[in-house]
Amino acid sequence: MALRLLVAAVGRLKPDAERTLVERYADRAARAGAGLGLSFAIREVGESRAARAADRQREEAAALRGIVPAGAVIFALDEGGDVLTSEAFAKRIARIRDDGTADLAFLIGGADGLHGDLVREARQTIAFGAMTWPHQLVRAMLAEQVYRAITILAGHPYHRA
């Protein structure tokens, strides 16, 4: 069964080093994943201009929901999430693929983070450590970890534990 992996992120990356890095790993993930029944895409929504953080989160959550396919399994990137090894992350992706799920969406919030409703709806919340990261770097780290997960599942030597 094929699994479409989608990174749905708040904010538009400017044409700079972060965008170049994200695109590099997204291209690698898409090419490497094809043989494993995994596709990879990134979609962006604009940041809310609301005055209050709660309103910004609510508006951004609505925009993210608008680009996530119906029935998708959701993984939320949240500072309170689980810290996973790359191997555990790869196994979770494989399990979702093998269960016959069509879509897995990774949600990255804006500067205020994801709305609590999205975090609660997620099957999995993931954190890249205890530190706070700019959402542009989270996108690059997630794209790299998706690529790494694909190489782990393919038995490729990119990941050396």
CATH number at residue 36: 3.40.1280.10
The amino acid at 29: A
160 part of a folded domain:
no
Give the number of other CB atoms < 10 A from CB of residue 20: 11
Say which residue the tokens 């069964």 belong to. Answer: 1
CA atoms within 13 Å, Cβ hemisphere of 9: 23
| Alpha helix segments (H runs only) across 75-158 | 86-98, 116-121, 135-154
The amino acid at 136: Q
161 part of a folded domain:
no
The whole-number pLDDT of residue 19 equals: 94
H or E element that contains 118:
helix 116-121
Rounded to an integer, what distance in angstroms lies between the CA atom of residue 20 and that of residue 26?
10
Mean pLDDT on 103-117: 96
Structural domain that includes position 46: 3-154
39 part of a folded domain:
yes
61 part of a folded domain:
yes
Locate the DSSP E strands across the chain. 3-10, 38-45, 73-82, 103-108, 124-126
106 part of a folded domain:
yes
Q: How many helices (H) and strands (E) does the chain have?
A: 5, 5
Residue 61 scores a pLDDT above 70? yes
pLDDT one-digit tens code per residue, 13-26: 999 999 999 999 99
Rounded to an integer, what distance in angstroms lies between the CA atom of residue 128 and that of residue 124?
13
159 part of a folded domain:
no
The whole-number pLDDT of residue 159 equals: 74
* Structural domain count, the chain: 1
Mean pLDDT on 140-157: 95
Confidence of residue 58 (pLDDT cuts 50, 70, 90): very high
66 part of a folded domain:
yes
128: nearest Cα among 60, 77, 89, 61: 77
55 part of a folded domain:
yes
pLDDT one-digit tens code per residue, 76-89: 999 999 999 999 99
Confidence of residue 161 (pLDDT cuts 50, 70, 90): low
